[in-house]
Amino acid sequence: MPDRTYSISDLASEFGVTTRTIRFYEEKGLVHPRREGQKRLYSAADRVRIKLILRGKRIGMSLQESVEVIDLYDPEHNNEEQLHSLISTVREKRERLLQQKKDIDDMLAGLDEVQSLCEQALQDKPASPTTRNRQRR
DNA sequence: ATTCTAACA
DNA sequence: TGTTAGCA
């Protein structure tokens, strides 16, 4: 049954998002589920597409960026122009991640310093009565 | 009970 | 995106 279909709530609950989020992606043209009257019917392919979009979101990609990557799986768009576009996107993504890594390392260093000062202050000061009570247990 | 559209926060 | 209203 590889041709199973999913309701919008099926996918929403599976991916931990609201149905609004999935409809929102459709508004943005990220997915085009087929309809059965008014109701949306998502195919296994639609499901994968949404999964990839959410993954891209987690690693900081914009919805548009995710679409660019996802479209590579579509033979129709594997032309030279698209590939150049993707290479450009990947390069920019790499630069952004490196910058984030630097910012995180700097902040981590700052936190180490603060923690060190706090521990130092506790060590140089005699334990308060309440602290002694906790230590006794 | 579910889903849908539309509109507003 | 969340929420909410009013339908089907």
The per-residue pLDDT string of chain A (137 residues; one tens digit each, 9 = 90 and over) reads 678 999 999 999 999 999 999 999 999 999 999 999 999 999 999 999 999 999 888 877 888 888 888 877 777 777 788 778 778 877 887 888 789 889 989 999 999 999 999 999 999 887 777 766 777 65
Chain B bases near protein CB atoms (7 A cut-off): 2-7
- Greatest alpha-carbon pair distance for chain A in Å reads 74
- Say yes or no: A68 and A24 in one domain: yes
Backbone angles phi, psi at A9, to 5 degrees: -75, -30
Q: Does residue A131 lie within any of the structural domains?
A: no
Is residue A133 a part of any domain in this protein?
Answer: no
The spacing between the Cα labelled CA in A20 and the C1' in C2, in angstroms, equals 8
For A12, A62, A64, A71, the CA distances from A86, given in Å and listed in that order, are 29, 14, 12, 10
Q: Is residue A31, in this structure, part of any structural domain at all? A: yes
**Within 10 Å of residue A53's Cβ, how many Cβ atoms?**
24
Sequence-ordered strand ranges (E) for A14-123:
34-36, 39-41
A34: CB within 7 A of chain B nucleic strand: no
- Is residue A71 in a domain? yes
- Residues A99 and A44 occupy one common structural domain: no
> Which residue places its CA closest to the C1' of nucleotide C3?
A20
Q: Which nucleotide is nearest to A7 (CA to C1')?
A: B3
At A32, list the tokens.
């085009």
Is the domain of A44 the same as that of A11?
A: yes
Please give the residue range of the domain that contains residue A120.
82-125
Residue A77 tokens, joined: 């768009």
